[in-house]
Homo-oligomer: A and B are copies of this chain.
Amino acid sequence: MTDKASIDFYFEFSSPYGYLASLRIDEIAAKHVRRSVWRPFLLGVVFQITGHSPLTEQPLRGDYAQHDFRRSARLQKAPFMMPEEFPVLSIAAARAFYWLEGRNPAQAKQLAQALYFRIFGEGQNISAPEAVIAVAETLGIDGEELAAALQDPVVKERLKTETQTAIDRGVFGSPFVIVDGEPFWGADRLDQVDAWLETGGW
């Protein structure tokens, strides 16, 4: 089964729906004996192309979004708290992920999960590099090494490349899942992702 294609899970750390999807994606992957590949990217860069703005800043839609975040979280019984400072600056978080992934992929995913929980499970601000490092240290990651990595041009470039790859693959929102070449946008498409894997498509 190891030659089956991965489930590519694109997400922005500042995305509430990305957080909610992150709590389900691995279960869906495991059910279908697939590997999930987590890919944080910078939605702000995508917004420069699409001309979009964060949901919460949009007239009418913003109020609904705030309501829907909480209702969606309750439906899947996920802890949820909007951070007071929003949107979150996710550059440090995403850089930390890619740096760590090069060394320890499993731990990189754990870091992403811990960061998401800090943001939307506890409503805390992780925009500053120090805040990301603090979360990483709870997982036993060396804080000084990570601090240096966050300024490493190679790591910075990696995040740029990954974000560009996401755009090239048609990713325009968070979360965004690509499985067997099929794109699915939104946490509310995960049931379809599940069904697509089950049936091979319709």
Contacts and interface: CB of A to CB of B under 8 A. Distances in A.
How many identical subunits does the complex contain?
2
Given A50-B60, A50-B61, A60-B172, A188 B185 contact: no
Interface string A30-70: 00000000000000001001111000001111011001100
23 contacts: A49-B59, A50-B58, A50-B59, A50-B60, A50-B61, A51-B58, A51-B59, A52-B61, A59-B172, A60-B167, A60-B171, A60-B172, A61-B172, A64-B170, A64-B183, A64-B185, A68-B185, A71-B202, A75-B192, A75-B195, A75-B202, A188-B188, A188-B189
Contacts of A170: 60, 63-64
B167 A67 contact: no
Nearest to A74: B202
Contacts of A183: 64, 67
A193 B59 CA distance: 23
